[in-house]
Amino acid sequence: MIRLTPIPGKPIDPASLSTVDSLVQARIDGRLSRRDLIRRAAQLGFAAPVIGVMLHATSDMVNGAPSPGRNRAIARMQDAPILVEGPTAPEGTQVAGGALVVGTTDEPDTLHPALTQLQGSFDVWGAIVKGLLHWDSAMVMQPELATEFSISDDGLSYTFTLREGVTFHNGDPFTAADVMATVDIINNPDFGTYNVYNLDQVAEMSASDDGLTITLSTAEPYAPFLSLIADGPIFPKAEIDKGLESFTTEYGRAPVGAGPLRFVEWAAQQHILLERFDDYWGDPSILDEIRYMIIPDDNTQLVQLRTGEIQLVGGAGAISALRVDEALEIEGVNVLQHSSQAWIHLDLKHVDFLRMTKVRQALDYATPTQQIIDQLMGGRVLPSIGDVPPGSWAFNPDVEPRPYDPDRAKELLEEAGLTFDGNVWSGPTPTPEKDIDPNTDLGGPVKELAIEIWTQAGESHYDLISQAIAQSWSDIGIKVEVKTEDVSTIWGPEGYQFTDAMTAALFAWYNSNDPDDTWYWHSKWIPETPEGSGGNLPAYFFPYNFQAEIDDLTGRAETETDQEARAELYRQAQALLHEEAAVIFLYWDMVFPAVAENVGGFWPSGFTNLFWNAHQWYVTE
Amino acid sequence: MSRYFIRRTLGAIPLLFGVAVLSFIFMQLAPGGPDALFGRLPRMTDERLAQMRANLGLDDPMIVQFGKWLGNLLTGDLGTSYVQHRPVWHVIWDVFPNTVYLVMAGLFIALILSLLFGVIAAKNPYGLFDNVTAFISYFGLAMPVFWLGLMLQILFAVKLGWLPSAGMHSAGETGVADFLEHLILPAFTIAIGSIATWSRYIRASTIEEINADYVRTARAKGMAEPSILSRHVLRNSLTPFITVVAIDIPLYLTGAVLVETVFSWPGMGRLFFDSLNRRDYPVLMGILMLGAVLIVIGNLVADLIYARLDPRISFE
């Protein structure tokens, strides 16, 4: 059995360890290096995917864990907001009990962990419904409803020891039956969940007779299995047994879980009220209640922080980078800062000229990325050169962003065979077939270089950024039109990816706990139809001119379990994506929570939900 | 009278059906759909996507979807929200009363002030009062609601601390006094646009009536000025005004989105806007049908009041 709570000890001789559990435990206890774990496991003859499973169990295989590189990158930024390095710890005496009002700009759609699509919902249900394990803000997996787990030596079966004496908010005791009912409902096609939390990978499950352990098995060794389990919920069986209709329509408005806070009420468009659950298995919530106030307008949000009507914002309701300066002026309120997993970029649909490396490079040179970061975003975001955040073990520090250089951009357009007639760039386009080299095979019709930039309505900084890029591109003679559309339009079958124009789209992709990025680049995730699924949208009409190379790199990295080898593959992928200017990488978002000076225990991060430790929040006098 | 009432009610049915058909078609014509984002969720497979569409009934042809919706409507079922996963009726009913409170308060303020402004201005056109109130009401009309709302918040909530900045209740409060305090700023903000248009309307029609022959006759008979105004002039000048107000009321109910957003007021405008963005068809249809019903009722009530105020109009 594996304890997630480390009991540190002296370094251990790897040769004395021979099972998955013992290796994982030694690593968690800090008695074994990651490298020794991998080496010893390989000596023992464990298959590569099994080693991958082990590294997930030790929280080694995670993206964006705090590291010196990341901290240095962040230190370069303006230092006004306070960098989150742990829970807030105000001076003064801690008050027993008390209430806190949290503000958000987005009302949750539903608090159903399986049906919500909004971050704000994850923020809130994170305190109500807990799972077997959970992530903390240091990106370390922690025990919750399971106290320990073990992994079979073939890497297929996970046996969890369930915590005894856990009670759900409805009074039912927590048993293995609840875990099994949760797995079943998630996999029930009639339920049709959006969020499966890797439970769709469960091929078999069985519980011990005493109901205190449960074994979940996957069909293949599947490395990220635990990562998402740790994000997922366990539902009380009684709630599921009320029937599909009730579980779909009612549970999400009044969720029942085993978390430290209990759902009390949800007044539509006003607030969601949570209160301390006295029968929580661990230390009960310090606060008596937490009220999640819905304040759709971000001006109003700042006004209410100022008047003290709300005392904390974060997660989905964090202060936007454009408003940090205003928030910093509010007395008695600290503005915090932590990294996020969101990378903002300009997608380039690979059609016509945009299939050509030099044209895309020209667009990158013609984009004033640093000015956008400094002037429009107030220097409060991190420049990006790829899809792996600075500080991650898979980040490539050797890739330099292209400077803003309009003359170089014009040269590159000329080298690509385009000519400028004083009004517009035009030239022959690549032959409109899939299996050609678009850089040399220019058998397509002569066209003008005219690009539509699509952006999401209601995001004021996206408006500013796309206008700035459009202006810079126009300055070198490219015809640009900015189109602002709502989310449903952009991502629907009439979206930018599926029109026949040359389009660019400004938006953010959100990474998860693992640097696996096949979803964005691999040919297996090119949608088959505009209605189909898939994340590799730019390659819908024509594959990338570097599709074979990126398939190879990301595909191998997805299955490689030696972390150093894997990191090398991701570094190569970042270099390739940058060289080819596959998309125009702009920046990594930062998140700015704000909290009244007398609130303690608040510890937000981009790795878990806002309320993950809400029971440890307190106020001081 | 009752025959007229029944005739109008029956006449509304084909009208509402037409509204339903057109709303449904226009909604489906809008690009994207409630499922637009599903395919972009990481590692979503085509099979799971198809299953989710089937569960929501989105894989049916449009005419079948409409048929099902209409069939359910006849049994009193407005369907289930794609976003909130609960009955549309609950979704709407949760916020509809709040919008009614806001609108009633806004109407009340708008009616009182526009009557006052309009009539006094008409007594002395182009005088000081006329010019000042005209300036104030046009200023209010011209200011963007979100800006005006923010200025009111900063003045009354932050600087003076007299009123709460937003929301419908303070945390943990449910009392009437607390509710009324929260109502003042949004109600005033929503009223200000109408004060401008309505007071100008009343002013114009009152000036017209005040110079009419029967008023001169009344004066010649030695009737007191206040009763000339209330018993003769206003009675005539307000009759067409009833229609103006009746047409505006439903617009208030669905069009308060900016005020509701700035003041975090839980209402229909915000619900409509959010549902539109997420293509929550069942909720949109519910709101549109409710709006249509309210317009029909509003017009009917206006006509009935008309008949009471103007003896020349008879529905028999």
Residue A309 backbone class (left: φ over 0; alpha: ψ -120 to 50; beta: rest)? alpha
The type of residue at A242 is: K
Is there a contact between B278 and A115 if contact means CB atoms under 8 Å apart? no
CATH number of the domain at A136, please. 3.90.76.10
The pLDDT assigned to A561 comes to 67
Nearest to A492 among B32, B49, B157 (CB): B32
Q: pLDDT value at position B35?
A: 83
Question: Which position has the token pair 């292209």?
Answer: A402
- Cα of A108 vs its chain's centroid, Å: 18
Strand order in the sheet with A213-218: A2-3, A146-151, A157-162, A213-218, A202-207
Cβ-nearest to A533 among B30, B49, B261: B49
B contacts of A115 (beta carbons < 8 Å): 85
Provide the terminal-to-terminal Cα distance of chain B, rounded to the nearest Å. 6
Strand ranges for A415-478 from DSSP E? 419-420, 425-428, 446-448, 450-456
* pLDDT beneath 70, residues of chain A: 60-79, 561
Closest residue on chain B to A200 (Cα): B48
Residue type, position B298, single letter: G
Most A-contacting residue of B40, B181, B268 (CB-CB within 10 A), to test interface: B40
- A375 occurs within a structural domain: yes
Residues of A in contact with B78 (CB under 8 A): none
Confidence at residue A61, expressed as pLDDT on a 0 to 100 scale: 56
CB-nearest to B36 from A190, A271, A492 is A492
The DSSP 8-state label assigned to residue A615 in this structure reads G
Chain A residue with Cα closest to B157: A307
Determine contact: B33 vs chain A, CB below 8 A: yes
- The one-letter code for the residue type at A337 is Q
For residue A430, the 8-state DSSP code is: P
Question: Which residue on chain A is closest to B266 by alpha carbon?
Answer: A269
Sign (positive or negative) of CA dihedral A66, A69, A75, A77? negative
Residue A307 within a domain: no
Contact A187, A244 (CB under 8 A): no
Nearest to B85 among A112, A309, A492 (CB): A112
Instruction: Answer yes or no: do A489 and B30 touch at CB < 8 A.
Output: yes
Local structure of A260: helix, strand or coil: coil
CA A100 to chain B, closest CA, distance in angstroms equals 10
Angle between helix B234-255 and B281-309 (nearest 10): 170
CA-nearest residue of chain B to A115?
Answer: B85
What distance in Å separates the CA atoms of residue A398 and residue A567, rounded to the nearest whole number?
13
A362-407, pLDDT tens digit by residue?
Answer: 999 999 999 999 888 888 888 999 998 887 788 898 999 999 999 9
Over the range B238-261, which residues count as b (16 or more CB within 10 Å of their CB) and which as e?
A: bbebbebbbebbbebbbbbbbbbb
Residue of B33, B83, B94 lying closest to A492 (CB–CB): B33
Q: What is the pLDDT of residue B255?
A: 58
Q: What is the pLDDT of residue A45?
A: 81
In a domain, residue A264? The reply is no
In A, minimum Cα distance to B269 occurs at A269
What residue numbers bound the domain in which A29 lies?
1-45+130-254
Is residue A366 within 8 A of residue A449, CB to CB? The reply is no
- pLDDT for B316: 57
Residues A360 and A498 placed together within one structural domain of the fold? yes
Looking at the 3D structure of chain A, how many domains does it have? 2
Interval A51-103: pLDDT, tens: 877 877 877 655 434 333 334 344 434 347 888 888 998 888 999 999 999 99
* Chain B interface test: which of A187, A299, A459 (most B C-beta within 10 Å): A299
- Among B35, B48, B84, B162, the strongest candidate for a mutation testing the A interface, having the largest count of A CBs within 10 A, is B84
Bridge partners of residue A100, in order along the sequence: A290
pLDDT for A68: 38
With beta carbons under 8 A apart, name residues in chain B contacting A107.
274
Query: For A594-609, what is each residue's pLDDT tens digit?
Result: 999 999 999 999 888 9
Is domain B95-309 classified as CATH 3.40.228.10? no
pLDDT of residue B53: 87
State the ipTM, two decimals.
0.80
Give the CATH number of the domain where residue A551 resides. Answer: 3.10.105.10
Which domain-ending residue is among A254, A286, A318?
A: A254
C-alpha torsion A529→A531→A533→A537, nearest 10: 60
Tokens of A288: 């008596």
Q: How far apart are CA A54 and CA A51, in angstroms?
A: 5
* Among B residues 225-264, those touching chain A with beta carbons less than 8 Å apart: 261-264
Which residues of chain B carry a pLDDT beneath 70?
1, 253-255, 314-316
A–B interface: beta-carbon pairs under 8 A: 175
Residues in chain B within 8 Å Cβ distance of A99: 171-172
Closest CA to A429 of A542, A352, A354: A352
How many angstroms away from the CA of B304 is the closest CA of chain A? 36
Please name the residue of chain A whose CA is at the shortest distance from the CA of residue B279.
Answer: A488
Please indicate, yes or no, if residue A310 is contained in any of the structural domains. Answer: no
Q: Which of B16, B98, B18, B1 is nearest to B289 (CA)?
A: B16
Please check whether residue A257 is in contact with residue A235, taking contact to mean a CB–CB distance below 8 angstroms: yes
CA distance A396 to A585: 14
Contact B157 A110 (CB under 8 A): no
